[in-house]
Structure 1
Amino acid sequence: MASNPPAPAAPFVPSTQPFGFGPGNDEGQWEEWNPTEESLRTVRGRHRVSRQRGGGLARSSTVLGVGVIAAVGAGGMASANTGKPPVSISLPDLASVAHVFDGGSSAPKGSATALSDVGVSTKDAAQGAKGAGEALRDRIMAQAEVQRVQIDSKAQYATEAAFAQQVGQAAAQAEKDAAAQAQAAKDKAQAAAQKAAEAVKLAKLATQYTLPVVSYTITGTFGQAGSMWSSGYHTGLDFAAPTGTLIKAIHSGTITEAGWAGAYGYRTILTLDDGTELWFCHQSSINVSVGQKVGTGDVIGRIGATGNVTGPHLHLEVHPDGQATGIDPAPWLRGKGLNP
């Protein structure tokens, strides 16, 4: 390949300018260059850069521009990383520093741009774009809103849980009260049923039992104290009536004794099927004999005043299972549907 011939060297002329660059200057020795046709010819493969006055200023301007851009980048990173509110740093517009790069002598007046808006174009700003500081602020506000919503949700859940617990307790209490009322009603109904059943039973027994005397007056009750009785108290129930008044069998049974019994006078003992003994005392006469079967209402004797008495009456005693000590005849008769 053919190569271009080297450009002729320009003649060296010492500087005679009092303000020119002298030896030891950063730009070196200044020299005058008079272009010729040969020196203006394009050299292939090479780019000639001629020296010019103010070259040092251009190179210094380039360094200044790089420093400004580095400062802007460092400020943006600090604003985004520290989480602190962005500090407004005035940054000259590119138009205001263009003369540094193009060698102009006059600098046009430019506008200052806040650091938080660096990197946001006019079009982005018109569409709602935000700088690093505003974006960080929005993220912090969004996180605070999420936390507030979580706290409100927890408080609402706690309130709903407490309300549900109160409702459950009220329902449980209401159920308990209803159960108690139902049990009370059931018990009352059972008591009424038992009472009705008892009434039916007594009515049925009343057809099987009868009082020993039809017309009478109660003159002595069980347990009365007095010297008239050898035991110190009255052991039976007295039915006062005129001598000769009929005495009837209270219930069906067997005559197990009939005759004289000392202080009891003439006495008849009627033994029921369940073993209960009924004593009929102070009779004026006896109409039955030992071993005789009698039914309810059969005449077994007549009222008298025999034995230890003060007047004619029937002394009735009740001895369950043939015991020597008797019980109060009044409640026993009421248990059979009879009201003495």
Structure 2
Amino acid sequence: MASNPPAPEAPYVPSDTLVYDGYRADDEAPLGEWNPTAESLAPVRGRHRVSKQRGGGFARSSTVLGVGVIAAVSAGGMASANTGKPPVSISIPDLPSVGSLISDDSGSSADDTSAFSSVGAPSTETAKSSSASDAGEALRSRILAQAETQQDQIDSKAAKAVADAAQKESDALAAKAEKEAQEKATAAKKKAEEEAAKKAETARLAELAKQFTLPTSSYTITGTFGQAGSLWSSGYHTGLDFAAPTGTLIKAIHSGTVTEAGWAGSYGYRTILTLDDGTELWFCHQSSISVSVGQKVATGDVIGRVGATGNVTGAHLHLEVHPGGAATGIDPMAWLRSKGLNP
């Protein structure tokens, strides 16, 4: 930057008036050129700071401008104090690019765009940073969306699993309840059927009891079917013994035909009554017989009397039952009960 030649010394004027470049403060002539250099002035401190620029030209120019303005303001204030004129208000914009506008280094200021970058348009790095931030935010949004989707899927699967488990448990409980209900219904049906069958059997036996009767009265059961002992030639008892006093009446258990009546060896006096179904009833050890062969009798008719004839130890009626006329008999107690009788 070119420097101006020093100003000529002013003639001495003995006065208290402040004189600048040959003029006094009360004169209206303009002040002479004031051109301080960077080497002659200290750096300005305060608000009007200028950031360091490339080459140092911008910083030096801004410093010179700031010092010149301060000096001009000071000079104007001093002149106003001497002349009585009102002070001039000077306003300097607080911009970092003011120095570059008046700098004599035109090439440097033309190429330097840092001031405009700092004041106005964003720099390339700022744009890149903004773009990277936008991309990161988009990636973050996608990750959050994916995480939310996955969480929704997990929650949906968990809810479905819970619902399936609840449904399975409900189905199991329903199946169990249905099975229990079926079992109860089956048991109730079976019980009802059994009760109905029992009632029917009771009714049948009651009806049969009208057709059947016990062979004697005032008796005591002293021997049952199948008893083992030496008293019986077969080695066991083949009938049912009704002990009663001699002469007690013997009655026909059911209607039938007399097929035998007489002495039968160890059986003593015996009467055989054949029923309509072919079953033979043997009445043994009688003291007397009241019927004859071929005679038809009805239920309750007297056919003889209790005695002690044949192989006996006392007076009693020995009764045997031979289904179909078989040689081997069955238990008379069971047969009588099947007819509704209870000896």
Give the TM-score taking structure 2 as reference length.
0.63
Counterpart for residue 271 of structure 1: 274
3-state SS of 2:292 partner: coil
Per the TM alignment, residue 295 of structure 1 is displaced from its structure 2 partner at its CA by 0.4
Aligned to 1:221: 224
Give CA-to-partner distance per residue, 1:5-52, whole Å, 9 cap, x none: xxxxxxxxxxxxxxxxxxxxxxxxxxxxxxxxxxxxxxxxxxxxxxxx
Whether the 8 Å CA contact 1:116–1:133 is kept in 2: the answer is: no
**Is the Cα contact below 8 Å between 1:116 and 1:134 reproduced in 2?**
no
Counterpart selection for 2:128 from 101, 115, 119 = 115
Matched, 1:313 2:326: no
Work out whether residues 285 and 301 of structure 1, in 8 Å CA contact, stay in contact via their aligned partners in 2: yes
Q: How does 1:40-189 map to 2 (within 5 A)?
A: 103=110, 107-108=114-115, 110=118, 113=126, 115-118=128-131, 131-189=134-192
Q: Judge conservation of contact 1:303–1:312 (CA < 8 Å) in 2.
A: yes
The alpha-carbon distance between structure 1 residues 252 and 116, as it changes in their structure 2 partners (threshold 3 A), is: farther
Q: Quote the Cα distance in structure 2 between the aligned partners of 1:176 and 1:105.
A: 95
Compared CA separation, residues 105 and 288, structure 1 to 2 (3 A): closer
Partner of 1:204: 207
* Match in the other structure for 2:303: 300
Kindly provide the CA deviation profile for residues 46-96 of structure 1, in whole angstroms up to 9, marking residues without a partner as x.
Answer: xxxxxxxxxxxxxxxxxxxxxxxxxxxxxxxxxxxxxxxxxxxxxxxxxxx
Tell me: CA distance 1:104–1:205, structure 2 relative to 1, closer, same or farther (3 Å): same
How far apart, CA to CA, are the structure 2 residues paired with 1:101 and 1:338? 143
1:332 to 293, 313, 335: 335
Which blocks of at least 5 consecutive residues in structure 1 are unaligned? 1-98, 120-129
Alignment deviations for residues 253-309 of structure 1 (CA, whole Å, 9 cap, x no partner):
011011111111111000011111000011111111111110000011111111111
- The one-letter code sitting in structure 2 at the alignment partner of 1:117 is S
Give 1:287's aligned residue: 290
Gaps of 5+ in 2: 1-105
Provide the residue aligned with 2:245 in structure 1. Answer: 242
Q: Which one-letter code corresponds to 2:161 in the other structure?
A: A
Q: 1:214/1:100 Cα in 2 relative to 1: closer, same or farther (>3 Å)?
A: farther
In 1, Cα distance between the equivalents of 2:335 and 2:300? 17
CA distance in 1, matches of 2:240, 2:197: 29
Q: Give the AA of the match of 1:103.
A: A
Aligned residue pairs, count:
232
The 8 Å contact of residues 243 and 313 in structure 1, kept in 2 or not, is answered as yes
Q: Quickly say closer, same or farther: Cα 1:299–1:190, change in 2 above 3 A.
A: same
Structure-2 separation of matches of 1:116 and 1:219: 123
Q: Work out which of the two has the higher radius of gyration on C-alpha atoms and give 1 or 2.
A: 2
Query: Does the C-alpha gap of structure 1 residues 100 and 266 become closer, same or farther in structure 2, counting only changes over 3 Å?
Result: farther
Secondary structure (helix, strand or coil) at the match of 2:285 reads: strand
Runs of 4+ in 1 over 3 A off after TM superposition: 99-102, 104-107
Q: SS in structure 2 opposite 1:332?
A: helix
Matching of residue 232 in structure 1 with residue 235 in structure 2: yes
Alignment-derived partner of residue 18 in structure 1 = none
CA distance in 2: counterparts of 1:158 and 1:274, whole angstroms: 73
Percent of pairs with identical residues: 70
